[in-house]
Amino acid sequence: MGAPSSAPAAIAGFSEEGESLSELNTGSIQHGLKKHSHGNAPVVPEASRGERLKSYNLSDFAPLTGREEDWRFTPLNRLRGLHTEPLTGTGPSVQVSGASNIQVETVGGSDARIGSAATPEDRISAAAWAAADGATVVTIPANTVADAEVTVTVLGADKAPAAQHLIIEAGAFSTAVVVLDHSGSVTLAQNIEIVVGDGAQLTVVSVQEWDDDAVHVSSQQAKIGRDARFKHVVVSLGGDLVRLTPSSVFTAPGAEVEMYGLYFADAGQHLEQRLLVDHAVPNCKSRVTYKGALQGQGAHTVWVGDVLIRKEAEGTDTYEVNRNLLLTDGTRSDSVPNLEIETGLIEGAGHASATGRFDDEHLFYLMARGIPEQDARRLVVRGFLTEVIQQIRVPALEERLALALENELAAGNL
């Protein structure tokens, strides 16, 4: 873990540690109970989420400073060189198991499927694109129901900055559950492309249960076909710094997307999720639910949810929600829901965000029935987070993650 930069920030309130929390940040007007931490810093986001730069060329992205809207919460000095160094380390190993009626290939960089669902949207993703010399491709053939869940085990053993590229392709009218199971120790920049064919039903579960020293930055972009059903579930528990940017882009009418996330940050951990749902065509539906819990000094989580409804996307139905539970003092949770609507001809659109401590009424209700306070607190946390685990629909994995949550709670003496 690098030391904070000693150079003065070019814009007050920003450094390689991300956005400053200092009470010295000043703004000319205060609304509500707490002054916004931006102060008077001239942070100017893109005019539209749809205008964000996309490119396969690393040189098209300027070096990161920590002042960019997309990186202002990320402590760059903890990326261990992913944004500045060549990604020449040995990437984590990949092993695919489970279903017997799917296809698994290792392909070179010239394979036509690379780039079929994604284009890098930031400097680290572009660097990983350039550095990866190929990809692991998991294909569920058209009209095929996978005869078991597919588990892609990603095991790290090298902390040198490295790149990795994975592709998941669900053919038309196929059905499958794919689990990406990350563990070990890494400094990894990762691109994952997901193609959901017309009428396909695909669930992708990305589990980050890294060792405590891992650094993981992952772009997970999905392209959704006509009348397809796509569910994306993120579970982030381990690692020193984990930053995921999942996105779902509709390409034809009639599709539905569900995006779920669960994260539990301990002392010193930085867990960041920045997602996008791009309604680019008519008559599609999306639902986003992310929940997080934090305990310990310096635990930090970030959730930024962007939903873009383009002017062509008439009949859109979308809603996103983020909830965060602060279990101890010394934690910080940033939650930023963004909804951009370019047409009024929609079925519905909304978003919600809330961050707070235990509900005293819930605790009182349980304790009044003879449940000790510590047990009551654990019941509240379990009930709060279990909703996401239950969306996985893989019993063995659900049981494992439930146990992992119990271990997290026990480690914090909650």
Given this model, what pLDDT does residue 46 score?
59
Q: Please say if the pLDDT value at position 324 is more than 80.
A: yes
DSSP string, 303-329: EEEEEEE-TT-TT-EEEEEEEEEE-ST
Given this model, what pLDDT does residue 48 score?
80
> CA–CA separation, 262 vs 288, rounded Å?
12
Given this model, what pLDDT does residue 366 score?
79
The domain locations on the chain are: 14-21+48-359
Query: What is the 8-class DSSP label of residue 16?
Result: T
**Number of Cβ atoms within 10 Å of the Cβ of 242:** 26
Using 50, 70 and 90 to split pLDDT, how confident is the model at 414?
low
Comparison of pLDDT for 265 and 39, the residue scoring more: 265
> CA–CA separation, 78 vs 128, rounded Å?
18
> CA–CA separation, 45 vs 80, rounded Å?
26
Given this model, what pLDDT does residue 348 score?
97
Supply the mean pLDDT for the chain.
Answer: 89
What's the mean pLDDT in 289-313?
A: 97
Using 50, 70 and 90 to split pLDDT, how confident is the model at 275?
very high
What's the mean pLDDT in 360-389?
A: 85
Given this model, what pLDDT does residue 59 score?
96
Given this model, what pLDDT does residue 45 score?
53
Given this model, what pLDDT does residue 360 score?
72
Using 50, 70 and 90 to split pLDDT, how confident is the model at 236?
very high
Q: Please say if the pLDDT value at position 162 is more than 90.
A: yes
> CA–CA separation, 152 vs 98, rounded Å?
9
Q: How many CA atoms lie within 13 A of 242 on its CB side?
A: 31
Amino acid letter at 163? A
Instruction: Spell 187-203 as b/e; 16+ CB within 10 A means b.
Output: bbbbbbbbbbbbbbbbb
Q: What is the pLDDT of residues 238-260, one digit of tens each?
A: 999 999 999 999 999 999 999 99
Copy the structure tokens of residue 368.
Answer: 């009044």
> CA–CA separation, 33 vs 325, rounded Å?
19
Given this model, what pLDDT does residue 370 score?
85
Q: Please say if the pLDDT value at position 168 is more than 90.
A: yes
Residues paired with residue 309 on neighbouring β-strands, in sequence order: 279, 341
DSSP string, 273-300: EEEEEEE-SSS-EEEEEEEEEE-STT-E
Q: What percent of the chain has pLDDT over 90?
A: 79
> Cα 338–341–342 angle (5° rounding)?
145
Instruction: Spell 94-129 as b/e; 16+ CB within 10 A means b.
Output: bebebbeebeeeeeeeeeeebbebbbbbbbbbbbbb
Given this model, what pLDDT does residue 29 score?
36
Copy the structure tokens of residue 18.
Answer: 């991300």
Do 310 and 343 form a contact (C-beta atoms < 8 A)?
Answer: yes
Using 50, 70 and 90 to split pLDDT, how confident is the model at 35?
very low
> CA–CA separation, 271 vs 237, rounded Å?
8
Q: Please say if the pLDDT value at position 32 is more than 50.
A: no
Q: What percent of the chain has pLDDT over 70?
A: 88
Given this model, what pLDDT does residue 100 score?
98
What's the mean pLDDT in 134-146?
A: 98
